[in-house]
Amino acid sequence: MLSPEPMRHVSVVVLSADLERTTRAIARIGVLHLLNVRDSVETLAAIRPYDVSERLAQVERLARAVSALQRYFELAPPEAVDAEVEGGGLDLADVERRVASITLEVDALRQQQTRAADDCEQLRKLSRNLRVLAPLGLPLGELRRLRYVFLTSGLLPERNLPRLRDSLARLPHLIVPISGVAADARLLLVVVCLRAGQETLERALRSAQFERLELPAHLSGTAENAIADVDAQLRAARDLLAGFDTEKAAAARRLAPELRTLRGLVERERVLVAARGFMGQSERISLVSGWVPAVVAPPLEYAIRDATAGRCVVQWQDPAAVDGVRRGHIPVPILLHNPVWIRPFEHVLRGYGMPRYGEVDPTPVVALAFLAMFGFMFGDVGQGAVLFAIGYFIYRRMFRYRDYALILMECGVSAVAFGFLYGSIFGVEHWLPALWLRPLEDMTTLMQTAIVFGMSLLSLGLLLNVVNAVRRRDPEALWERNGVLAAMAYWIAVGLVIRRLTAGPGAVTLGATTLWLAAPMLLILLKDPVRALWRGRRQGQRPGLGELFVLVVQSLVEVVDTVVSSISNTATFIRLAAFALSHAGLFLATFSVADAVARAGGGPVGVGIVLVVGNAVIIGLEGLIVSIQTVRLEYYEFFSKFYSGGGEEYRPLRLAEPQARGV
């Protein structure tokens, strides 16, 4: 807690022949955060990065092929991939061969299916065409033998009819819609023109997407007579198609496990090949480097030595000893290490950015402050219990949202605790005694408490800023904005306020306040000019008067900014009290509406509905607003004092995401 997990840098040199085994061993143990050799190797000129682009493209191609097969068989979605499958000794070439063989088999089946589906479609269309022509009662042979008139029937997209009419404006013709709009927004038409205009009409119809109702030459008699024959053929064709569907289902059952395995193998290869892109090689040796949590360094080394049968060099370094880290271009990854109940609040931290290595991990403070502020603003035993119950439900039923469920449960507990302090249960304030105060009856104490809480949190922020500066061995940061001097000024001001509140108005005079605050302010005002003078003296180059003047003006702005921001940052915490009051006020409003309903003869049911809906609205609306305010206070007031984010999250090379976190 309070510090990210200590990391160690590891460089592993293995024979290139052993690299694949080593990479698999590293991925299996899943603790190495890889470092790109392009960033880490400067002194070893012989080491060059692996070029994995071709191999990666091959893996991507295979992944797409397997995914297409899975889609064809309507199997599990491709993202449900288990990269830790056992492949029974298959390598990528085997996978490629197997995928090609299955694709061949599938293509044959698909072609047969397509052919059968096409036949079905043709017969279905023919049956439909005959049904369209049946009411006309014309002999089909006669229709084909018309000498002076050209007649055709077919389907036209409804939208294209005006366009077709435009294009036929110069040709004498007749367009007769036979029925209304067909199911696919097409019209059934009979189009007639003189035989001389046939060519023009056909061109126009074709380009208007007119689909002619084809009638095979062998059909004779009336359409009515032909329908029975064609329908019998259609039934046979559908049976054939159904047979292929059954065959496909059987193939799906037979191939599903194998495809899952192949997909897993391809995914595993994708991870390993991508990892290879981070590694370097010379003629015979390969280099792997990265970061490992110190606590799991020995198992990793054991796994590497085991995989290479001892043919390796493993070199460990502390972060401070790594040249790139010292020069600031290689970040040390951050693995936060917090107890289960605090861990969900790491999301709040991630929203702002990870801490940098060596800095304080403020997650516990964030969690405690979050819960305290939430409870303060949302204190109610009944509603807290509801929040807890919702959180518990999500925790049990929707495991992927467990982090948010935990936050909800903890917020519920905090709201219950404050509910007891306020003596409020679903807004009713006479069932429980108030262990501390009732918000609407003692606003002054509520506001004073909110301000004191704010002062404490801001003080903690300023303190953490100093601690971070010391931990980073960054003396400059001690004197920057929110550094020691600003903290000193803030604490002096806090002390004076406390004295005034405890000892009465006469205890702190304006003169004493000015005198106390003058010292740190003067130091802030002078620090930059003094530093410039000191630096100039060391470098033998004294700053000019103009430059000093600019620095003084800058420092003056900083003083004003420090004073204003300290006041505003503290005053803003009064919103804790304001939202606690608004929470109680919303209850008041709900009860007023319930009373009005009762007076209007709404009966117990009406009153009950108002109370339930009112509470639901308060939980939903107020809960959301309070959460937003809490996050806002943490980000803008607390984090701005000490936290800059910018750290890199620890992401080890792993074949599959573990079910439970931790290494």
Partner 1 sequence: MRTTSDLHRYAGAHARTRAVLATLLGHPGLEALVSYPSAAAVYEALLRTPYGVGLTGTNPDTPRLERRLVAVGNTLLGLLADPERAFVRLYLLHHEVDNLKLVIRAIHNRRGFDGIAPLLCELGAIATIDPRALAEAHDLRELAQRLTNTPYGEALRAALHRLDEAGPFALEVAVELDYYDRLWSAIDTLATSDAAPARRLLGTLFDILNLNWIAGYRDVLGLSPEEILNYTLRHGRWITAPLRRGLAEDGSRSWEGPLARTPYASLLAAAAADGFDAVAAGLWRLLAHEVQRTLSGYPFHIGVLLGCLLAQEIEIRDLQVLLAAKRLGLPNTEVLDHVASVRH
CB of 164 or CB of 559, closer to partner 1: 164
| Site membership for partner 1, residue 169 (CB under 8 A) | yes
Answer for which of 8, 186, 263, 337 binds partner 1 (CB under 8 A) is: 186
Quote the least distance from Cβ 400 to partner 1, whole Å: 24
- 381 makes contact with partner 1 (CB under 8 A): no
Pick from 291, 327, 290: nearest CA to 7: 291
Among 28, 48, 163, 471, the residue binding partner 1 under the rule CB under 8 A is 163
The tokens describing 144, both together, are 């084909």
**Residue of 32, 164, 416, 525 interacting with partner 1 (CB under 8 A):** 164
With respect to partner 1, which residue has the nearer C-beta, 111 or 568?
111
Q: Which stretch binds partner 1 (CB under 8 A): 206-214, 390-398, 401-409, 494-502?
A: 206-214
Q: How near is the Cβ of 203 to partner 1 at its closest, in Å?
A: 5
Task: Name residue 314's beta-bridge partners.
Answer: 12
Which residue in 31, 204, 373, 377 binds partner 1 (CB under 8 A)? 204
Gyration radius of the chain's alpha carbons: 39
* 184 touches partner 1 (CB under 8 A): yes
Q: Interface with partner 1 by CB under 8 A: which range of 156-164, 406-414, 425-433, 457-465? A: 156-164
Does 282 help bind partner 1 (rule: CB under 8 A)?
no
* SS3 track for 420-489: HHHCCECCECCCCCCCCCCCCCCHHHHHHHHHHHHHHHHHHHHHHHHHHHHHCCCHHHHHCCCCHHHHHH
Q: How far is the CB of 227 from partner 1 (least distance, A)?
A: 22
Cα separation, 441 vs 438, whole angstroms: 5
In degrees rounded to 5, what are phi and psi of residue 540?
A: 70, 30
Per CB under 8 A, 172 contacts partner 1: no
Q: What angle do CA 641, 647, 651 make, to 5 degrees?
A: 145
Instruction: Select from 165-173, 275-283, 342-350, 453-461 the region that touches partner 1 (CB under 8 A).
Output: 165-173
Separation CA 206–CA 201 (nearest Å): 8
How many residues sit in the footprint of partner 1 (CB under 8 A)?
Answer: 28
124 touches partner 1 by CB under 8 A: no
Tell which one of 179, 207, 246, 568 touches partner 1 (CB under 8 A): 207
For partner 1, the binding residue among 211, 301, 480, 649 (CB under 8 A) is 211
Residue 155's DSSP bridge partners are: 188, 211
Say if residue 553 is exposed, middle or buried (CB neighbours under 10 Å; 0-12, 13-18, 19+).
exposed
Determine the interface stretch with partner 1 among 158-166, 433-441, 512-520, 542-550 (rule: CB under 8 A).
158-166
By CB under 8 A, residue 592 contacts partner 1: no
Question: What part of residues 61-80 is at the interface with partner 1 (CB under 8 A)?
Answer: 64, 68
CA dihedral angle for residue 164, residue 165, residue 166, residue 172, rounded to 10 degrees: 120
Chain center to CA of 617: 28
Least distance CB 445 / partner 1 (angstroms):
44
Q: What distances in angstroms separate CA 112 from CA 122, 169, 194, 243, 301, one per listed residue?
A: 15, 45, 43, 11, 56
Environment class of 40 (CB within 10 Å of its CB; exposed 0-12, middle 13-18, buried 19+): buried
Strands 211-212 and 173-181: unpaired
- 208 binding partner 1? (CB under 8 A): yes
**Beta carbon of residue 214, minimum distance to partner 1 (angstroms, whole number):** 10
Nearer to partner 1, 132 or 279 (CB): 132
Residue 157 makes contact with partner 1 by CB under 8 A? yes
610 binds partner 1 (CB under 8 A): no
Cβ within 8 Å of residue 651, ≥6 positions away:
33, 333
Q: How far is the CB of 125 from partner 1 (least distance, A)?
A: 9
Provide, rounded to whole angstroms, the least separation between the CB of residue 190 and partner 1: 18
Determine the interface stretch with partner 1 among 160-168, 406-414, 442-450, 627-635 (rule: CB under 8 A): 160-168
Q: Is 527 a residue that touches partner 1 (CB under 8 A)?
A: no
**What angle is formed at CA 460 by the lines to CA 454 and CA 466, rounded to 5 degrees?**
140
One symbol per residue from 99 to 118: x for binding partner 1 (CB under 8 A), - otherwise; what is it? -----------x---x----
Residue pair 429/545 in contact by the 8 Å Cβ criterion: no
**Closer Cβ to partner 1, 211 or 231, answer by number:** 211
Q: Should residue 332 be labelled a site residue for partner 1 when binding is judged by CB under 8 A?
A: no
Residue 119 identity (one-letter amino acid): D
Residues contacting 597, CB < 8 A, separation 6+? 606, 607, 610
Least Å from the CB of residue 167 to partner 1: 4
Q: How far is the CB of 122 from partner 1 (least distance, A)?
A: 11
Q: How far is the CB of 166 from partner 1 (least distance, A)?
A: 5
The secondary structure of 334-375 as a DSSP string is B-----TTTGGGHHHHHHH-BPPTTS---HHHHHHHHHHHHH
- Return the closest-CA partner of residue 240 out of 106, 124, 113: 113
81/618 with CB nearer partner 1: 81
- 9 touches partner 1 (CB under 8 A): no
Answer for which of 167, 198, 317, 448 binds partner 1 (CB under 8 A) is 167
Q: Both ends of the chain: CA-CA distance in Å?
A: 16
Site for partner 1, rule CB under 8 A: 64, 68, 110, 114, 155, 157, 159-160, 162-164, 166-171, 184-186, 200, 203-204, 206-209, 211
